[in-house]
């Protein structure tokens, strides 16, 4: 019996349970599908409307709607745990596996892997669609490699940011509102911070994403002047800190 309990408490088993729960919750499945569909639909829309600026690239134009998809990834991360708090099934989860950090680690691994895989496949397809539909030679091609891997990583970071917010707030509406605020507010309030704007505006995963996609809208005034990869590292660092805070909080408080 002791062997069986220990086996159930292990990380592989916790990850398997999380995957089963993920597939069975409609809100998680639909938001994930929407995350994957939006970049491709955006590439088709941009090509059909011819709305690119002369200084846009094929890569930037094809990934025009990836910010929306990234927000959906963050919402998925938040719902991954707030849904269980809302339904009360989090008590069952912790009864089956009392090691709360193991449960959170499984959720972290699952949502990061799903967000990364979905984003990489979707954004690569969106780029291929945009490249096929846009007029040959009219726009610069951009540099898709290894940028697409960075774009996918920014989706995983956004999803983990949502998971951290959901773990700390424990309420779907509150967590979703908070994470959308983190994604959008730095670009909006950045100009209010004077010379510090280059850091404030670059704090959001959406800012890192816009820089990576090389869109003409990613100006220093709107997304900060920190480079795309340093911006992604900065966002990853504070997301990791928030996850550690969430893990500590999860261990200390009651369900």
204-231 pLDDT per residue, tens: 888 899 889 887 777 777 777 788 999 8
119 Cβ contact list (under 8 Å, min separation 6): 35, 36, 39, 66, 69, 70, 73, 151, 152, 154, 155, 156
* Share in percent of the chain as helix, strand, coil (round to 5): 80, 0, 20
154 cis-preceded (ω within 30 degrees of 0): no
How sure is the predictor about 2, in pLDDT bands with cuts at 50, 70 and 90? very low
pTM of the model: 0.92
Counting residues of the chain whose pLDDT is more than 70, the rounded percentage is 96
Instruction: Report the pLDDT value the prediction gives residue 255, as an integer from 0 to 100.
Output: 73
């Amino acid at each position: 019996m002791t062997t069986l309990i220990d086996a159930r408490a292990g990380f592989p088993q916790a990850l398997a349970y999380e995957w089963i729960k993920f597939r069975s919750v409609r809100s998680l499945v639909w938001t994930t599908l929407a995350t994957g569909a939006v970049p491709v639909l955006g590439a088709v829309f941009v090509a059909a409307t011819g709305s690119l600026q002369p200084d846009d690239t094929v890569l930037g134009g094809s990934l025009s709607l990836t910010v929306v998809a990234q927000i959906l990834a963050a919402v998925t991360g938040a719902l991954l745990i707030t849904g269980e708090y809302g339904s009360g099934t989090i008590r069952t989860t912790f009864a089956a596996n009392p090691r709360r950090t193991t449960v959170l680690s499984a959720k972290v691994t699952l949502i990061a892997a799903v967000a990364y895989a979905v984003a990489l496949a979707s954004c690569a397809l969106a780029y291929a669609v945009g490249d096929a539909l846009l007029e040959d030679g009219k726009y610069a091609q951009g540099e898709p490699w290894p940028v697409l891997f960075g774009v996918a990583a920014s989706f995983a970071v956004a999803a983990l940011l949502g998971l951290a917010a959901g773990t700390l707030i424990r309420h779907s509406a509150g967590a979703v509102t908070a994470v959308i605020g983190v994604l959008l507010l730095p670009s909006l309030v950045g100009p209010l911070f004077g010379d510090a704007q280059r850091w404030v505006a670059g704090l959001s995963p959406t800012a890192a994403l816009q820089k990576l996609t090389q869109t003409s809208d990613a100006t220093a005034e709107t997304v900060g002047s920190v480079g795309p990869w340093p911006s992604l590292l900065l966002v990853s660092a504070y997301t990791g800190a928030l996850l550690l805070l969430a893990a500590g909080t999860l261990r200390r408080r009651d369900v």
